């Protein structure tokens, strides 16, 4: 009787360890995708960048934050400021990088939620062109694990223009997020 209980306890420990290890492995793989994304932007490496995304339709859209949109309207007028929303594709994004001498997409405050098959990643970002930050905001990725590999299925982000507003420090952004929860 006692050996049966010990066997069950050992089995439960092994199962828990195995599940925890899978979670750690998934987190590492997703972090690797985020790092490859960033490196691809710096190197303008479209071949690697494109492999990070799922085949077929991938959502790529952004919205200008209200503060920046209001400043755009104030500065340019309502007609010239245009919509605060745009969509495109990851391929359009990569092609657009070539108009700059240098580019970088920096990420911090990264949070990953996954169940082994689907994942959601939230992060803060700042986009740099020619060694100058041009915009910043929140970036949200969704991923699926397809044929054993994680692939990005959507990229949705907010934009705050640095011509109007500086990015707050990481500690301030983290504090603000805690207050929102």
The CATH number of the domain holding residue 104 is 3.10.450.50
Q: What are the C-alpha distances in Å from 62 to residues 23, 71, 84, 160, 172?
A: 30, 17, 8, 11, 23
Please state the domain count of the chain.
1
Write the pLDDT tens digit of every residue in 58-109. Answer: 999 999 999 999 999 999 998 888 899 999 999 999 999 999 999 999 999 9
For 15, the domain range is 2-180
How would residue 174 be classed by pLDDT, with cut points 50, 70 and 90? confident
Q: In the prediction, which pLDDT does 15 show?
A: 52
**Looking at per-residue confidence, does 1 or 78 come out higher?**
78
pLDDT per residue as tens digits for the range 153-165: 999 999 999 999 9
């Amino acid at each position: 009787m006692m050996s049966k209980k010990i066997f069950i306890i050992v089995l439960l420990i092994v199962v828990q360890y195995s599940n925890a290890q899978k979670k750690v492995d998934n987190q590492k793989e997703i972090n690797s995708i985020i790092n490859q994304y960033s490196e691809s932007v710096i190197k303008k490496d479209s071949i690697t960048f494109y492999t990070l995304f799922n085949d077929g339709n991938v959502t790529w859209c952004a919205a200008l934050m209200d503060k920046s949109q209001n400043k755009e309207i104030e500065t340019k007028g309502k007609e010239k400021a245009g919509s605060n929303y745009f969509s495109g594709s990851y391929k359009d994004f990569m092609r657009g990088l070539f108009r700059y001498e240098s580019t970088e997409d920096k990420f911090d405050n990264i949070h990953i939620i996954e169940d082994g098959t689907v994942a959601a990643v939230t992060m803060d970002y700042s986009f740099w062109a020619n060694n100058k930050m041009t915009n910043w905001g929140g970036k949200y990725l969704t991923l699926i694990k397809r044929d054993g590999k994680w692939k990005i299925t959507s990229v949705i982000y907010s934009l705050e223009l640095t011509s109007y507003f500086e990015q707050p420090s990481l500690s301030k952004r983290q504090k603000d997020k805690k207050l929102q929860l």
